[in-house]
Structure 1
């Protein structure tokens, strides 16, 4: 709602059409009491795993502990966000601010309201553009998501604003590693969402590093932070639905280089100096008790219950985290496919055969992926030779993550609990935070 009170990335058109902006924002608020991921007891660290926990763990646990005494009063799930309207100080008749697609025309060193000076475009998507700006009031840099001036995108941005406000109000100190909204406003018919300026995405770092896998110590810390963020979201009855490396930003992208000989043509690899991250892009986030579109998640990170049309909930985020962690470990996306049947066949090789009981729960339209015997209809007469060849290169989870050290053994065990087809049996984010994997130190030969 546009008003005089100020207050991620990515939008889904299906959600806009399904909600209908005016009706959606008149729904009554839901009262809830957020809870927080449990802190693992110290004795877990001593249970034959190690005398020393990972170096970052104490800091993360103390940080979370400081929030256990936070206010006990019930919190309103945000029903709407008021966006202040900012008008131009001088007449702008005849001035063109948008291109033909409704994107804001960015001119470096021009003003985006008197408060913000435009530096450069950081990225562009269906929703609009993300611009780096200088905040004259705070005297620092920020990132501003400028939504396209087309009404359906403006309406969709109100959904994202509602999610962002819910997140920030329930984690004012930003200990749960989710991006925070600083401000929002409506300027020249563009909804603008102001956020802190962070480093590059984890995916971009991986790409710039020749897709060399991350060190095991980095993966471990990334995983702990991801589960912390997702446990927090799930406590707020929120499902992110689009977890992927592109939506995980580094707080600091500084690195050092060391010699590397394991990849042809690559002589050095980059090692991050700081592994702190922030989760972004809440444009597709969904409250559990509200409308669920039939298909969510980027293909490579999509859970089997979504592909099979069974409906989805919190566990789909956990599956996505598993895919992300394997990508960090190997340097490559786990499920590189764009076809449902091929995707399911890859899952069977990596995670084991689909269970008959699980298959019977699939939607009517998804039954076409199975033969009368209940087995997956792959390969079939329409399967291309390239698909057959590619699927044959897949390895099982145990082959991808060999148990050659205590850390890898626990990592494999965690992944095994993630890649369970039945979402009701899949490990939760809270449960994952207490897994022995996070209390096992990295040996020098694990780096």
Structure 2
């Protein structure tokens, strides 16, 4: 009887536990779904509601089509309502979210400043034509541009560009960003997504046994100045998209400068050449390990003044007893992270010897010490830009 009672009690307990677990699981699932729905609502909140054919800014522009949505808001194609000419523009419609609107207003001021310094538009920075507020939204009307370099790489199945295009693009990017640096501005978010072609016409060319798309006109424009920072301004500790982030930014140094842009450009050029991100890292320590594999060791002093100095026993955690090398295998978060670092190719393995000048250009930009990176005003005279490429 006692045994039977115990068994019955056990079954009852098991059922109760199962029921409780199931109920808890359903509750948890509902909670997660509620959170997801709220997040989606938050992401959708404040978007400018529009209709094709709708007129805006006292009838100055008419909306012609939707171009895309982003975190900040959406982009619409508009044209002037003037009967004599139909000029098309890209109108950035900032969501009615205070921080996005404040950021857009800062970007507007920076773009007016740049355009005052470059009245002819010779330095290939996107042109802003007007900005205005309507109800709770903020609008920026830009020149209409073509696809981003990332869009073209993606369309070509991540195959990269022939070297003559890489050379042309590199020269333009360096000249544009050198102009920003000359005017005490650091862009802080240089990547293929923020470098656009200037028209919507493309052609097919043979490359690596395939046909790939390239712009009919090779002229580029730099966009997205929302994070651009003047030398004298407060410097945020986190800038750049992770895979393009310079070592001094990864380490959390409080006073990075325009040299961080030089690192970003080198990462962009490698991506234009290969079609893929060079540093395909998931976190800071993996990024550091990849930098060591590609360029050389980061020594103790790089860590001594970094954000990692606050870690408990950081000397022993990140370095051997003689402080001579970074213990990546000991701090790696996973075997897959170790494998990704192992698979990273050096520049010499990635780029054939016939393009040795390109390797040299990259090496002069990807220096761990920011002060050792060659300034852009000097890089533009590098021998790489004198070479004639057929491929």
Provide TM-score, normalisation by structure 1: 0.72
State the distance in 2 between where 1:132 and 1:307 align: 37
Q: 1:130-159, CA deviations, whole angstroms, 9 ceiling, x for partnerless residues? A: 111112245210001111122222222211
Q: 1:334-369, CA deviations, whole angstroms, 9 ceiling, x for partnerless residues? A: 111221111111111111111344343323247587
Q: CA deviation at 1:379?
A: 1.5
Aligned length: 340
User: Secondary structure in 1 aligned to 2:330?
Assistant: coil
Q: CA deviation at 1:100?
A: 5.6
State the distance in 2 between where 1:349 and 1:365 align: 25
Which of 227, 230, 234 is residue 181 of structure 2 equivalent to? 234
In the alignment, structure 1 residue 291 sits paired with structure 2 residue 237 = no
Where do 1:132-171 residues align within 5 Å? 132-137=77-82, 139-171=86-118
1:58 matched residue in structure 2: none
In the alignment, structure 1 residue 309 sits paired with structure 2 residue 252 = yes
Q: Contact conserved, 2:285 with 2:332, CA < 8 A, in 1?
A: no
State the distance in 1 between where 2:383 and 2:189 align: 27
1:399 matched residue in structure 2: 349
Q: 1:19-49, CA deviations, whole angstroms, 9 ceiling, x for partnerless residues? A: xxxxxxxxxxxxxxxxxxxxxxxxxxxxxxx
In the alignment, structure 1 residue 110 sits paired with structure 2 residue 57 = no
Q: CA deviation at 1:105?
A: 1.5
Runs of 5+ unmatched residues, structure 2: 1-41
1:246 matched residue in structure 2: 193
Q: Which has the greater radius of gyration? A: 2
Which of 283, 293, 311 is residue 349 of structure 1 equivalent to? 293
Distance 1:372 1:441, change over 3 A: same
Distance 1:378 1:119, change over 3 A: same
Q: Contact conserved, 1:403 with 1:409, CA < 8 A, in 2?
A: yes
Distance 1:377 1:108, change over 3 A: farther
In the alignment, structure 1 residue 183 sits paired with structure 2 residue 130 = yes
Which deviates more, 384-393 or 223-232?
A: 384-393
Q: Contact conserved, 1:106 with 1:121, CA < 8 A, in 2?
A: no
Q: Contact conserved, 2:43 with 2:71, CA < 8 A, in 1?
A: no
State the distance in 2 between where 1:239 and 1:354 align: 24
CA RMSD, 1 decimal: 2.0
1:121 matched residue in structure 2: 66
Distance 1:158 1:216, change over 3 A: same
Q: Contact conserved, 2:318 with 2:331, CA < 8 A, in 1?
A: no
State the distance in 1 between where 2:206 and 2:171 align: 28
Q: CA deviation at 1:106?
A: 2.7
Which of 330, 334, 338 is residue 388 of structure 1 equivalent to? 338
State the distance in 2 between where 1:317 and 1:365 align: 27
Runs of 5+ unmatched residues, structure 1: 1-97
State the structure with bigger RCO (CA 8 A, min sep 6), 1 or 2: 1
